[in-house]
Amino acid sequence: MKVRYCTLFDTRYTTRGLTMLSSLMPFLRDGDEIVVLAMDDGAARILGQSGYEALTVVRVDALQDRELLDVRETRARREFCWTCTPAFTAWMVNNTANGDIVVYLDADLMFFADPRILLDELSDGGNILIHEHRYSSDKAHFASTNGRFNVGFVAFRVGDESRACVTRWRAQTIERCELDPENGYCGDQGYLDEWPARYSGLRVMRNIGGGVAPWNVNQYQVRQNGAGPTVDGEPVVFFHYHALETIVEPHQGFVAVHPSAGYAFTHGTLKFLYRPYARRIRQADDDVAGMNEPNENDRIRHWLDIAIGRVLGRYVGTH
């Protein structure tokens, strides 16, 4: 079984994207691949200098999706990125052999264990794997605006059912992709709520180590064993670092990480989940800054992009 992972990000998310990729690379097996949709020239340039093996970079135009290109002219950057997630995933599924697996990943994840542990949940004949938010009691009210499922990790075993799913998902977001919770819209994510009733081959992830995130971590005991962090004794496969802010200064560079704005965490969560990410993202930030060294104006624009991204990120839900 070949696994093709895909993600997308722009210049403002390159440090997070590179951090996610570097955490995933050790778990790739022969034949596995990562495909990144670079949303702007800066991200494409940095990815081209990353030196990662098994990595392919594509641009939006390469998807040859006329409807997607048409909506690019009318949608804000955030909404267009959300629209690209199903379109890119559909392109991946339609260009992957039957029986192989395509996994869409948000750029702000970090892997602590092999994601195939999660993909094994498709071994009973399942075709689609999604995960619930699993809101902790203090965040249960998020369900009304952010839906039951999170789009940060979505897997498809390629075949007729998966192709039907991604085709419909793409069409829905081409038609409408915005954050309008009062009318039931949450970007590309809200559409997942209909999937359990529509697709018999869908599996809802059982492993609580997949999809650990700010909105659910407070219900768990977060500890560490010899292999890495655990929640209620289960190894964390990946954590979703939603709403995290990097604090930077143009002349000094990376200063600190502010864990997910608007959330309060235990000492164990900060120590075992956020500190490792801070170390990784600091290294990625240094790498990106080094790539921008030849032009001071580029470096300044990089910091401004990050600052703008932090501000915009505050208005995104649990996506």
Whether the predicted pLDDT of 197 surpasses 90: yes
Whether the predicted pLDDT of 297 surpasses 50: no
Q: pLDDT band at residue 314, thresholds of 50, 70 and 90? A: very low
CA distance 119 to 108: 20
Give residue 187's pLDDT: 86
Whether the predicted pLDDT of 32 surpasses 80: yes
Interval 99-149: pLDDT, tens? 999 999 999 999 999 999 999 999 999 999 999 999 999 999 998 889 999
Please state the domain extents for the chain.
Answer: 3-313
Task: Work out the percent of the chain whose per-residue pLDDT is above 90.
Answer: 76
Give residue 258's pLDDT: 84
DSSP for 50-103 reads S--TTEEEEEGGGG--HHHHHHHTTS-HHHHHHHHHHHHHHHHHHTS-TT-EEE
CATH number of 3-313: 3.90.550.10
Give residue 261's pLDDT: 81
Model's pTM, two decimal places? 0.90
Whether the predicted pLDDT of 15 surpasses 60: yes
Whether the predicted pLDDT of 226 surpasses 60: yes
In order of 7, 175, 262, the CA distances from 287 in angstroms are 20, 38, 29
Residue type for position 235: P
Whether the predicted pLDDT of 262 surpasses 80: yes
DSSP for 161-220 reads HHHHHHHHHHHHHHH---EEGGGTEETTTGGGGGHHHH-TTEEE---TTSSB-TTTGGGS
